[in-house]
Amino acid sequence: MASITKRSKTWTTRVSYYDDFGKRQFINQGGFRTKPEAQNWANLNEVDVSDGINPKLGKQLFTDCFLKWYQTYKEPTLAKSSRLRYQYTLGIVNNYFDGKRLDEITCTDYQKFLNDYANPIGRNPRSLSSSEKVNVQIKSAVQYAIDDDVG
């Protein structure tokens, strides 16, 4: 449900929805010059909410989120050898999760990814250490997305 109000010379929209835990949440946007612009923004976000898209996570691709996390938190402080390891994981994420939004990936999808990564078809299984490193890096990026409401 959206509410639209005029604040001095601009319009502000507030859309409410319930998260996965049944708690009411709000997303706000202001600065619209006309009421129809504000109504259009509200309608688009209400459609996303009704389609099951989490507005806080939005439509951001998982690959973009991982790259942003890497560039912000890891790249500036890593040694060259560690940087190569993260770039390797970035390549894996790009290959496997290409085109998938954050809110589309389920726990089952992620476990399937880990299984496929550890035992690729037609190749020798990867080591446990390699699988653990990839898992730790991806989990850190996902935790960043959750903590910062990336979207």
Token pair belonging to 108: 């089952």
Model pLDDT for residues 27-68, shown as the tens digit of each residue: 888 889 999 999 998 888 888 777 776 666 556 788 988 999
When pLDDT is cut at 50, 70 and 90, the band that residue 136 belongs to is very high
Cβ(116)–Cβ(96) under 8 Å? yes
Residue with token string 């790259």: 67
User: What's the full length of the chain, in residues?
Assistant: 151
pLDDT at 124: 81
Taking CA atoms, 18 is separated from 1, 28, 59, 148, in Å, by: 10, 15, 18, 19
Cβ(105)–Cβ(60) under 8 Å? no
pTM for this model (two decimals): 0.61
Q: Residue range 106-130: average pLDDT?
A: 88
